[in-house]
Structure 1
Amino acid sequence: MTKFQKLLSPLPLGQGGPTLKNRIIMGSLTRNRNLVPQQVNIDYYTQRAKGGTGLILTEGTLVAPQGTEWPNAPGIYTEEQTAAWKKVVDSVHKAGGTIFLQLWHVGRVAHPDMPIQKATGKPVPGPSAIAARGGKFRQLNNAEYVTPHAVENPHDIVMEYSQAAKNAKEAGFDGVELHCANGYLPNQFLETVSNQRTDKYGGSIENRMRFPLEILDEIFKHFNKKQVGIKLSPAGGYNDVGEHTMEELRATYVPFYTKLNEINIAYIQTMRPGFGDPMYGGVPRSQKELDIFKEFRHLVTGPKFFANYDYSPEEAEQHIQEGKADAVVFGRYMITNPDFAKRVEQGVEFTEQGNPEKDVPLWYGFPEGHPEKGYSDYEAKL
């Protein structure tokens, strides 16, 4: 008899959506490997499907070429990428897994000097001409973020998401997740710290919600609503987003959660505080005391509520038992334990999680000097 009965119980996402074999969700983990998925990507996701994961969320997958800090992050904007992702999906399905693609646009936290951005001939876009504070472009001598070009017609980017969702459907994904967190483009449109537009995409919360809601409307042309999730990080802290006061935070996110609940998508993934820096230059950029369950859980009655950030299996089980969350998203455990779900079920000790600040090759790409440039000891085939 396992002590993780709730965590290991099935979870139906609703009519038209998949039923997850358990409530262990693999978080979206950027691995910085290939613009076009290759055999290493097939093996990586298949290992975690074989390992019993309830739902696999892919690493952030770009809807258009962008000069991200991740020079080898994959995309879903070309036929070649779509065909390559299909091989990943087919292998995951053969292993009995369920996999959603995370749709990603970094917006103002791209850099014009990154080779891919240069090749597009386009400026770095943002909702407004407001630069994010800080910067971490290791390939550019830690260059700082630049002031973005305020997007003239946001609907043009909405249509890039639409094409990406269409490609994801073609590749056979079980669903998609809209990345509206961590200071990326939909998050930038949502919050007042990065959006000071005066057109229909700025000002009121109804206007600031417009961009992510238009994206969802386009996604629904390709996927059932119960095949679509969204990721939110209302506490802020990463990539210089985060409303400056709790009052501003509530004014932004209570209406947004309410609207997402009304639309009744498959799930809302919500990050707890702690990811990213709470301050920059003496100015707050996160609300580290935010209680996501107290503030938002009661607003979510249709979609499932996924909780994320720094969970142990024990706390995950407790929160699901208490009704705080319907499922829990795990990150670092999944990198170092492809069979994490099976280890939870069987009571087997976990491999150490690994530290993204110290274990850079493990976290961000390939192990140093590996002849096959692809596998670490932590990713041994099951």
Structure 2
Amino acid sequence: MQSTAASLFQPVQLGSLTLRNRVFMSALTRNRSVPTNVPNSVNLEHYQQRAKSAGLIVSEGVLITRQGSEWPHAPGIWNQEQISGWKKITDVVHKEGSTIFAQLWHLGRISHPEAPEQIASGQPVYAPSAISAQGGKFRFLPGAPGYVTPTAIDDPTVLLDLFEQAAINAKQAGFDGVELHGANGYLIHQFLDSTSNKRTDNWGGSVANRSRFGLLALERVIKVFGKDRVAIKLNPAGGYNDMGMPLEETIETFSYFITEADKLGIAYITLVRYLDAFDPVKRGTPHDVLDTYGHLIKNAHVFANGGFTGEEAAATIKAGKASGIFFGIPWITHPDLAKRLQYGKPLDNQVDFATLYGVYYGSEEEQRKGYVDYPAAQYEELAN
């Protein structure tokens, strides 16, 4: 093992779960659940490859309902066929010695009314308030339209019901726990941010009211899995999908939310660092999220995400700023990422952006390219 990476390869206890290392796989939307949004054999192969070395896998965003989807061929978990598809994946991940959480995902205003599943739902695009996000291109739709003005949801508890049912389904599918997607401008983040939430009822206005939806969503899924199998991903610095409040308000809002979420005794809170590449309309508020919020987390593990190198990840853990690090693109291009970091192998596979999100409406075989065909390194010398 490379001495510089040693801190990454100490086990970590996550409630009753023991994670074998601290090199975690972030949720990575890849649009490979063709021809529908049911996990398939190519998805299974992708997860199995990475489960051989990952300490924790968080599934790609799993859509909790037809209403609230965007990407074609992103997997869902609202019906029995999807549950059965995921069960095959969780079984093989466990066989390979890894742990897998389902990331529960509702896109809110980032959906499009002409997306296939949104049409099938027969419902409008819902969000906290009737405010459209800036930017965006739905390249799979004719003319690549942008975001639309959503319909303000009358009763947000309807959406909380969907999160709870999705957790029930995830448990049936064999997931070890669930992570709520509270980042990147999706539904929970939309409730938190005062630029997307202009409600005047008890779901908006004050910091406590804007935090209500996300905290209640956590409570709902805790009912299903127990607190030590529940987590949330947050991106306080914002930017992506047109998120971003003034810095003082950002810190006030997320300090409150994180403190209250931590009181629930959940397993971990992932803090995503600001990345300029994920702030296309320059709405974000760059600040050090680990230094700003990490000290507020007394009960949960602090996990970090956002452009880490292996060396930086090891140093962050060694410094006590986080208990584990999520990687994104490196896991896409290196199915053996954790093993490469452990044995000092180069990360020399280059991402193919042309195939990153698959071929819209392509066959299952076409979806293999840029998904399960990145090579692992050679490790023959380890046998000596």
Please indicate the TM-score interval, normalised by the length of the shorter structure.
Answer: over 0.9
Task: Please say if 1:62 is aligned against 2:55.
Answer: no
2:283 corresponds to which letter in structure 1?
R
Helix, strand or coil: the match of 1:111?
Answer: coil
Structure 1 counterpart of 2:91: 90
Return the match for 2:288 from 283, 286, 291. 291
Amino-acid identity (%): 47
**Residue 312 (structure 1) aligned with residue 325 (structure 2):** no
Please give the per-residue CA displacement for 1:96-123, whole angstroms capped at 9, x wherever unaligned: 1110000000000101111211121111
> TM-score normalized by structure 2?
0.92
Aligned position for 1:123: 124
Give per-residue Cα distances to partners, 1:169-228, cap 9 Å, x unaligned. 001111110000000001000110100101111111111111111111110121121111
Instruction: Find the counterpart in structure 2 of residue 158 from structure 1.
Output: 160
Letter aligned with residue 308 of structure 2: Y
Name the SS for the 2:30 alignment partner: coil
Structure 2 residue 349 is matched with structure 1 residue 372? no
Partner of 1:196 in structure 2? 198
Displacement of 1:69? 3.7
Residue of structure 1 equivalent to 2:170: 168
| Alignment partner of 2:337 out of 319, 333, 340 | 340
- Structure 1: which 5+ residue stretches go unaligned? none
CA distance in 2, matches of 1:107, 1:367: 22
Counterpart for residue 240 of structure 2: 238
Q: Residue 51 of structure 2: SS of its match in structure 1?
A: helix
CA distance in 1, matches of 2:43, 2:107: 22
Pair 1:331-2:342 in alignment:
no
SS in 1 for 2:8: coil
Letter in 1 for 2:295: H
Contact 1:130 1:147 in 2 (8 A): yes
* Cα displacement string for residues 10-66 of structure 1 (whole angstroms, at most 9, x for unaligned residues): 01012xx3111000110000010110000001111011111x100001000000014
Partner of residue 27, structure 1: 26
- Matched residue count: 370
Do 1:132 and 1:145's aligned partners in 2 also have CA atoms closer than 8 Å? yes
* Cα contact 1:69–1:110 (8 A) shared by 2: yes
Task: Kindly indicate whether the alpha-carbon contact (under 8 Å) linking 1:319 and 1:325 is maintained by their aligned counterparts in 2.
Answer: yes
Change in 2 beyond 3 A, CA 1:277/1:174: closer
Matched with 1:80 is: 81
Q: Is the 8 A contact 1:270 1:292 kept in 2?
A: yes
Distance in 1, matches of 2:221 and 2:58, equals: 17
Please, which of 143, 146, 149 is the counterpart of residue 144 of structure 1? 146
What SS does the corresponding residue of 1:220 show, helix, strand or coil?
Answer: helix
Structure 1 distance, partners of 2:188, 2:360, is: 33
Shift of 1:285: 1.1
Question: What are the within-5 Å matches in structure 2 for residues 201-280 of structure 1?
Answer: 201-243=203-245, 245-274=246-275, 276=277, 278=279, 280=281
Please give the alpha-carbon distance, in whole angstroms, between the structure 1 residues aligned to 2:265 and 2:121.
Answer: 36
In the alignment, the residues of structure 2 paired with residue 72 and residue 369 of structure 1 have an alpha-carbon distance, to the nearest angstrom, of 10
RMSD, aligned α-carbons: 1.9
TM-score, structure 1 normalization:
0.93
